[in-house]
């Protein structure tokens, strides 16, 4: 038996908090009866409806994709472009956790588990994301320092948890490694733009303890139950 709000969140319909709100508002039924009690426990056999829609209870699924360039991070695209979900060959409905830009490559997680998705994206979980960026010109030391101190993007101060210059190229470009734990829209590109650099290429090399490992561009694998558990441990102890 599981708590109703957890079951709803685990199906990927919404966050647990949103599920609690819907329950209290009388928008959830169990076996045809409106349930407003937050502690209500339900089992596999119960039929749950959220705002008139039957909850499809599937196995929770978790995937790690090595996202290629030129694919949209979304479950659907209005313009019918290829999405990251199209790359995962399964029937079940899943969605990406967070967002990588069309031209960004690297580690992307996908799931149908709303609770896991919330855990991974909430800044309080402080899950590290390591990006490797190719910049249009060699970065000055003072700008590395500034990115650590913080830059304003859209009136919000964001800081690099860690930053280091990996390589300077003979054509004047350079490769920088940047670690952050938030996931604002275009955050990395905006941070570099904030100190005067353009990102020519961007790869997410690591999320928490996960790298793309042996996965080639466009390849994916399931997370092991141990890896899922490790993310819960990582996010909760922060
Ligand atoms: N920051 C960006 O600017 N782009 C991404 O794809 C991810 C983080």
pTM of the model: 0.80
Whether 101 is a known active-site residue: answer yes
Ligand 1: distance of its center to the CA of 196 in Å? Answer: 16
Measured between alpha carbons, how far is 107 from 104 in angstroms, rounded to an integer? 10
Q: Tell me the residue ranges of DSSP E strands in the chain.
A: 2-3, 28-30, 33-34, 41-42, 48-50, 53-54, 62-67, 95-96, 105-111, 129-135, 151-153, 156-158, 162-168, 174-180, 199-207, 210-211, 220-222
- Per-residue pLDDT band at 237 (split at 50, 70, 90): low
Measured between alpha carbons, how far is 88 from 96 in angstroms, rounded to an integer? 11
pLDDT digits (tens, 9 = 90+) for 28-53: 999 999 999 998 999 878 899 999 99
pLDDT of residue 25: 96
- Per-residue pLDDT band at 180 (split at 50, 70, 90): very high
pLDDT of residue 73: 95
Of the listed ranges 4-13, 153-162, 202-211, 217-226, the least confidently predicted one is 4-13
Kindly give the number of the ligand 1 atom that is closest to the alpha carbon of 189: 3
pLDDT of residue 193: 97
Mean pLDDT of 154-180: 96
Asked if 5 and 42 count as a contact pair (C-beta separation under 8 A), the reply is no
pLDDT of residue 7: 85
Give the angle 174-149-162 at the CA atoms, nearest 5°. Answer: 55
- 9 backbone φψ class: left, alpha, beta (φ>0; ψ -120 to 50): alpha
Catalytic residue among 77, 78, 86, 101: 101
Mean pLDDT of 166-188: 96
Ligand 1: distance of its center to the CA of 98 in Å? Answer: 10
Ligand 1 neighbours, Cβ below 6 Å, are 100-101, 104, 186-189, 202
Domains belonging to the chain, first-starting first, are: 2-54 (3.10.290.10), 62-123+210-237 (3.30.70.580), 128-207 (3.30.2350.10)
Q: What token pair was written down for 210? A: 């996960």
Asked if 120 and 235 count as a contact pair (C-beta separation under 8 A), the reply is yes
Ligand 1: distance of its center to the CA of 190 in Å? Answer: 8
pLDDT of residue 152: 95
State whether residue 80 is helix, strand or coil: coil
pLDDT digits (tens, 9 = 90+) for 81-101: 899 999 999 878 789 999 999
pLDDT of residue 226: 96
What sign results for the dihedral spanned by CA atoms 86, 88, 89, 90?
negative
Which of 181, 188, 199 should be mutated for ligand 1, with most atoms under 8 A from CB? 188
């Amino acid at each position: 038996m599981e708590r109703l709000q957890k079951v709803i969140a685990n199906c990927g319909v919404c966050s647990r908090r949103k599920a609690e709100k819907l329950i209290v508002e009388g928008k959830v039924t169990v076996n045809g009866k409106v349930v407003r009690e937050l502690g209500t426990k339900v089992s596999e056999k119960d039929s749950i409806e959220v705002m008139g829609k039957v909850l499809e209870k599937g196995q929770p699924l978790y995937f790690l994709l090595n996202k290629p360039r030129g694919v949209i991070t979304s479950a659907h695209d209005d313009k019918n472009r290829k999405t990251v979900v199209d790359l995962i060959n399964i029937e079940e409905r899943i969605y990406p956790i967070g967002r990588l830009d069309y031209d960004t490559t690297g580690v992307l997680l996908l799931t149908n588990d709303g609770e896991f998705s919330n855990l991974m994206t909430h800044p309080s979980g402080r899950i590290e994301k390591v990006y490797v960026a190719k910049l249009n010109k060699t970065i000055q030391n003072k700008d590395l320092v500034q990115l650590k101190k913080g830059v304003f993007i859209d009136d919000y101060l964001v800081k690099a948890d860690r930053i280091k210059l990996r390589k300077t190229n003979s054509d004047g470009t350079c490769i920088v490694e940047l670690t952050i734990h938030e996931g604002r829209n275009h955050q990395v590109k905006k941070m570099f733009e904030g100190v005067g650099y353009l990102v020519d290429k961007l790869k997410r090399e690591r999320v928490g303890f996960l790298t793309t490992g042996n996965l080639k561009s466009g390849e994916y694998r399931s997370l092991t139950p141990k890896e899922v558990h490790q993310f819960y441990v990582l996010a909760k102890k922060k």
